[in-house]
Structure 1
């Protein structure tokens, strides 16, 4: 059948369940945007800037399995680079589409706007090479093959890809087959699984250390089935919170090196068989590399990595490895620490200045069983990753890439990915000021997320690491609760300001009584008040920088 290249690109993205495409218009993508807005299966979501658009596409992809972003050549695509790099680091599949000048202009090497004025047109494409798992320059001749190939690659590896599409190519008509999902290729991992089984049968205290790739590849059910069969206890890294059902009896808690619960720390560090499953041992996830086990003794089972003793395979699928684990005939008999929720929601109501510890206990009690919880890198993330989640919760943070401001725009994407689930964002004032404009997009689309903004007057994480009273950690104080009205949300958003536990609890009651509204709650706390975990890990970060 005949389709324009741009139409076929949207067709192929939509068969993977994508129904929202984020981005910003520019003269090199406008004609392509006409094909998006007229497409029967997708909706255009315009963002306030390309960086916010990349964050929104990332948040959307974390729930839907794929996201898409459209920018214009040069100024637009480079504004999105930071967000795409974050998606690459944290394994989130986003199709980054650049609308580019015509092939005629490029061949003539003309000095056009948005270029560097040197007649070169491949500079920006080169910048995407280390932050995407695949790149393609679309032509009329290759589009029918390359479009499904590059999108399938993003889905297979759960990482972004970059598509450079000259606008005359987008408008060219070609002959194509019906768009379809490309089947995944499976691999035989029997030999590796036999090695793991032999090691397990020799162990007395095994443990699974699970991480973010379980979330990326949506392997939660397969992981839990394996655990329920083998009774091997599970510890999560903060980079991967939500990878395992925290209501499961074999869950022992968060492992973050020496800062973990004492029993968890001792069990993991003392295990004679650690299986690292879809996890990456980063500095923030391990309390500044404070684990005491020997990495040479760990079995690493990640996507593109099976590592055990002298065996190494860098071309293996995590899906296949987890499917292989399901065949293991093993049952753990050892005792292990039991995860406890006791006291996590025992907040105190009073009229004293609100403290972080009490704040997070109130948040724990506020969370409902199917909520999506987003926690911004900073006091919010370090206070939230220890919170006990319900089986139906989804947790989203960005602790590896750690780009502040990410979660506010990501919230737009997650809420649009599932408008029926309640989205709760915890964010600090410093991060909020970077991407605040995307609140207006949420209001424009009449979304109803809940935003808790910690106003602690600046960059508290940085103050704890270095420069407690330095001017570079200060920000301008805003009238935060006035912002929803500024963005046109006076009738759609209920804005409240709280300074005490009593006030915050009342604000939460207002939220629960008005589910048809978007909610914005400013929570005022002391500038140096911080979650205990953040105070501990910030010292590790500080020593790491010496």
Structure 2
């Protein structure tokens, strides 16, 4: 065959970049496009329960695979997905959002079609998405359509931001030259400007030579922009103490002898706060300095010698150097830094958190005990997904095994995000390593927003662990304002009946309320094998919360009350 349909061309290109699962929902303007998925070997259509969950799932998939594809229909479908797409934009996650739009003929006639505003303006939704996309394309010319598809895929992957691609219903089954697929899409990063990069290296090495107490601080974009390997190598090469932010958890091996802990400004443990703020040089990798990531902007560095490495620029003290991305400049820094640290004597790192002391088996579970104990259950290679609220804060005191991937949405913070993200992560994990465990921690309140996506997990035979800390409502909101307000309450569900309700036949559903029950469950070898989908309801007191969340809630309440 010398020609293939444009729709098949899109999916062949996605398969070439190892994006094998397509998320979304059918709608009459994308049905012809969806037909083409089944023409490409190795591709699958996830078939989500709604567009918002599909966007969350694409986000979770992309965090593991580097790129995901979300397909919605014009108007009603694409708008339903936008909250999830915006989260991907804010948090640097590469999602290609493909929208099936009305035919070019219908648009030209300005027909009063369903899913429109009734005013003949077919570009209005495209304009909305332009504000939350790295780039957009509305295909109107078959001759240039393959090049536009290639450009959109490359931009999604390289920038790690959402891209909007509109495909008219009448164009997706028109034919294009199959030979275009013979030339792979170039996914390589743009090289740094050599002269500017050399200036950065010179200045950074000069700061390193003078530093007596330098540290490394890894943040979200270290993972998002594929610089984890460089972060690990920099830690090995220098033996500088290495810390992470909440959004950076999993960016460096937490079992590394030079790992110091999680820095969250005033919410940090005292020894971590002291170690970071006493540094005389901070090498910051991929910072996203949001309120929940910084303890409400409570960073108190004791030095101005801060080097920020970002995906598309580097900042040395107050000087910004554009076109010097962190991946390449870190590779060169790792090669040259040994000569600059001959004077350096490694400083002690903060003491690792103590394990929980033995307790009577009937001791009720508490947040403080639970999040420390979870580290005993996790193993190397796990994907740990934590929901906004007690889970996202509690996980900061859990010490990860090496090569653990953390997923949370600390910046955008859309409640319910993690149910869909767990589906996407589980599908990605299945493609990467069938033995990789995906472990979700989502509160009883957040689960109610997106619970139906568990149905998709069951449909595909996925085997995640779904831990549901049940503290009877929106505890994070209660801590900020309205501890007894009716609007922070929810209807209690029979959580142990959810899996069979969604059609699961091979599953496990249990409830734990004491330390003994938790230990018995998580130490069971059969439970530790991800052989089936599992839901574990974890019973906790209503206002029990990680101490860091209690303090963050106080800071947030004070910020909200400012005039």
Please say whether Structure 1 and Structure 2 have the same fold, judged by a TM-score greater than 0.5.
yes
Q: Which residue of 1 aligns with 2:384?
A: 373
Measure the CA separation in 2 of the matches of 1:96 and 1:344: 44
SS at the partner of 2:69?
strand
Q: Deviations over 1:122-155 (max 9, x none)?
A: 1111111121111111131221211111111111
Q: Deviations over 1:248-271 (max 9, x none)?
A: 122111111122122221222122
Q: Which residue of 1 aligns with 2:425?
A: 414
User: How far is the alpha carbon of 1:184 from its aligned partner?
Assistant: 3.0
SS at the partner of 2:254?
coil
Matched, 1:193 2:208: no
Contact 2:218 2:244 in 1 (8 A): yes
Measure the CA separation in 1 of the matches of 2:345 and 2:508: 51
Matched, 1:429 2:440: no
Measure the CA separation in 2 of the matches of 1:347 and 1:126: 59
User: How far is the alpha carbon of 1:41 from its aligned partner?
Assistant: 2.8
Q: Which residue of 1 aligns with 2:541?
A: 526
Larger deviation, residues 458-467 vs 212-221:
212-221
Measure the CA separation in 2 of the matches of 1:322 and 1:389: 24
User: How far is the alpha carbon of 1:514 from its aligned partner?
Assistant: 6.4
Larger deviation, residues 372-381 vs 354-363:
354-363
Matched, 1:225 2:233: yes
Contact 2:362 2:515 in 1 (8 A): yes
Q: Which residue of 1 aligns with 2:244?
A: 236
Q: Which residue of 2 aligns with 1:21?
A: 22
Matched, 1:400 2:411: yes
Measure the CA separation in 1 of the matches of 2:314 and 2:109: 48
Q: Which residue of 2 aligns with 1:48?
A: 49
Matched, 1:464 2:479: yes
Larger deviation, residues 136-145 vs 21-30:
136-145
Q: Which residue of 1 aligns with 2:520?
A: 506
Structure 2 runs not aligned, ≥5 long? none
Q: Which residue of 2 aligns with 1:483?
A: 498
Q: 1:28/1:542 Cα in 2 relative to 1: closer, same or farther (>3 Å)?
A: same
Measure the CA separation in 1 of the matches of 2:57 and 2:32: 23
Matched, 1:216 2:230: no
Q: Which residue of 2 aligns with 1:439?
A: 454
Q: 1:393/1:544 Cα in 2 relative to 1: closer, same or farther (>3 Å)?
A: same
Q: Which residue of 2 aligns with 1:270?
A: 278
Structure 1 runs not aligned, ≥5 long? none
Q: Which residue of 2 aligns with 1:343?
A: 354
Measure the CA separation in 1 of the matches of 2:105 and 2:75: 17
> RMSD across aligned C-alpha pairs, in angstroms?
1.7
Q: Deviations over 1:144-182 (max 9, x none)?
A: 211111111111111111101111121111225125131
Contact 2:94 2:157 in 1 (8 A): yes
Matched, 1:279 2:294: no
Contact 1:345 1:364 in 2 (8 A): no
Measure the CA separation in 2 of the matches of 1:53 and 1:346: 42
Q: 1:24/1:318 Cα in 2 relative to 1: closer, same or farther (>3 Å)?
A: same
Residues 129-144 of structure 1: pairs in structure 2 closer than 5 A: 129-139=130-140, 140-144=142-146
Q: Deviations over 1:93-120 (max 9, x none)?
A: 0111001110000111111011111100
Measure the CA separation in 2 of the matches of 1:513 and 1:198: 49
Residues 244-259 of structure 1: pairs in structure 2 closer than 5 A: 244-259=252-267
User: How far is the alpha carbon of 1:343 from its aligned partner?
Assistant: 2.2
Q: Deviations over 1:12-47 (max 9, x none)?
A: 111111111111010011111110122113111100
Larger deviation, residues 504-513 vs 108-117:
504-513
Q: Which residue of 2 aligns with 1:496?
A: 510
SS at the partner of 2:410?
coil
User: How far is the alpha carbon of 1:367 from its aligned partner?
Assistant: 1.3
Q: TM-score, normalised to structure 2's length?
A: 0.93
Q: Which one of the candidate residues 171, 184, 188 is aligned to 2:189? A: 184
Contact 2:278 2:302 in 1 (8 A): no
Contact 1:239 1:279 in 2 (8 A): no
SS at the partner of 2:165?
strand
Q: Deviations over 1:319-344 (max 9, x none)?
A: 22222322323326244342444523
